[in-house]
């Protein structure tokens, strides 16, 4: 009997990029280019020298200054307030969109997905300029209200990604059984759909929150007086000089964002 190669094995050989010459060194170079700046920021956040680019000795004093700086605390408070409200709103709208897309026809669904996912494709600077112009035209006040509206809009597709992925994997048997037993749509939604989607909803909320906390471009355009977020405040600091205090703030923000994204990934992986 002759050996027949399965489609899976053929596909595996076709996508085995390690067989291409120079793939490994190219991959290592890309990883180095991506992560070396982050490593540099973390290391020099422990530098005792006030000059960020000159290493003097190990010190934690810049972290102390970060926690003592009232301006940083105010900017962090603004970021958390905007992020929490925008996360709740965007996740709620993402759940509604995911459920609504199930009942749409194929052509309409494709258009809806393209419109909802536009923030993932369009350059953020374009969205920020357009958002600012729209707010000025309709009279939306710049500040926390404008930030919440803008963050909610561009966080929806990020929250929608894990929810749609989970929804597409659900078994329809519990829904059909509940319907046969006389449950109405509200009961099915409350007792079956939302509990099954809960991990994906939580993962989407974490992802949306991380995106909101890290956003700079849109926040820079629509943040009014008294509504400066942490990324915008960091940008203001580096315009004058780069000190290890900036590195310390960036390290804390990196640690927070990384923890949130890892948590979102682990929640989604646990449910597979």
The H-or-E segment that residue 226 falls in is: none
Instruction: Share the mean pLDDT of the chain.
Output: 82
| Helix ranges (DSSP H) in 103-184 | 106-116, 118-121, 124-138, 144-168, 173-180
Going from the C-alpha of 180 to that of each of 130, 169, 171, 175, 196, the distances in angstroms are 49, 21, 16, 9, 19
> Per-residue pLDDT for 201 more than 50?
yes
Going from the C-alpha of 235 to that of each of 37, 41, 133, the distances in angstroms are 17, 15, 23
Indicate the CATH number for domain 70-270: 1.10.3720.10
d(CA 105, CA 131): 30
**CA-based nearest residue to 257, from 231, 238, 221, 232:** 231
> Per-residue pLDDT for 105 more than 90?
no
Give the tokens for residue 224.
């009014």
The model's confidence at residue 52, banded by pLDDT at 50, 70 and 90, is low
Contacts of 142 (CB under 8 A, 6+ apart): 132, 135, 222, 223, 224, 227
- 3-state SS, 69-91, equals CHHHHHHHHHHHHHHHHHHHHHH
Summarised one tens digit per residue, pLDDT across range 132-185 is 999 999 988 888 999 999 999 989 999 998 898 888 887 777 777 777 677 777
The model's confidence at residue 15, banded by pLDDT at 50, 70 and 90, is low
The H-or-E segment that residue 18 falls in is: none
Summarised one tens digit per residue, pLDDT across range 16-39 is 667 777 777 888 888 888 888 888
> Per-residue pLDDT for 76 more than 50?
yes
**CA-based nearest residue to 97, from 79, 74, 69, 116:** 116
Q: Please tell me the pTM assigned to this model.
A: 0.78
> Per-residue pLDDT for 242 more than 80?
no
Treating both helix axes as pointing N-terminal to C-terminal, what angle do 70-102 and 106-116 enclose, rounded to 10 degrees? 170
d(CA 66, CA 58): 16
């Amino acid at each position: 009997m002759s050996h027949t190669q399965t489609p899976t094995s053929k596909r595996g050989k076709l996508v085995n990029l390690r067989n291409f010459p120079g793939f490994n060194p190219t991959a290592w170079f890309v990883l180095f280019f991506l992560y070396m700046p982050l490593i540099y920021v973390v290391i020099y956040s422990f530098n005792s020298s006030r000059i960020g680019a000159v290493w003097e000795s190990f010190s934690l004093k810049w972290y102390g200054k970060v926690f003592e700086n009232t301006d940083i605390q105010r900017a962090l408070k603004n970021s958390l307030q905007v992020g929490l409200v925008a996360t709740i709103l965007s996740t709620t709208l993402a759940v509604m969109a995911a459920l609504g897309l199930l009942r749409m026809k194929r052509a309409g669904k494709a258009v809806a997905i393209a419109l909802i996912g536009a923030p993932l494709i369009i350059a953020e600077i374009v969205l920020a300029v357009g958002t600012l112009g729209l707010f000025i035209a309709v009279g939306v006040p710049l500040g926390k209200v404008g930030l919440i509206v803008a963050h909610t809009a561009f966080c929806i597709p990020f929250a929608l990604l894990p929810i749609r992925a989970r929804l597409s994997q659900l078994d329809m048997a519990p829904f059909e059984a509940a319907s046969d037993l006389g449950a109405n749509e509200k009961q099915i939604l409350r007792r079956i759909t939302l509990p099954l989607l809960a991990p994906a909803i939580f993962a989407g909320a974490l992802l949306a929150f991380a995106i909101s906390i890290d956003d700079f471009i849109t926040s820079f355009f629509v943040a009014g007086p008294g509504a400066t977020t942490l990324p915008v405040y960091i940008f203001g600091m580096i315009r004058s000089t780069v000190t290890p205090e900036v590195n310390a703030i960036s390290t804390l923000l990196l640690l927070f964002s990384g923890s949130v994204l890892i948590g979102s990934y682990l929640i989604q992986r646990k449910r597979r």
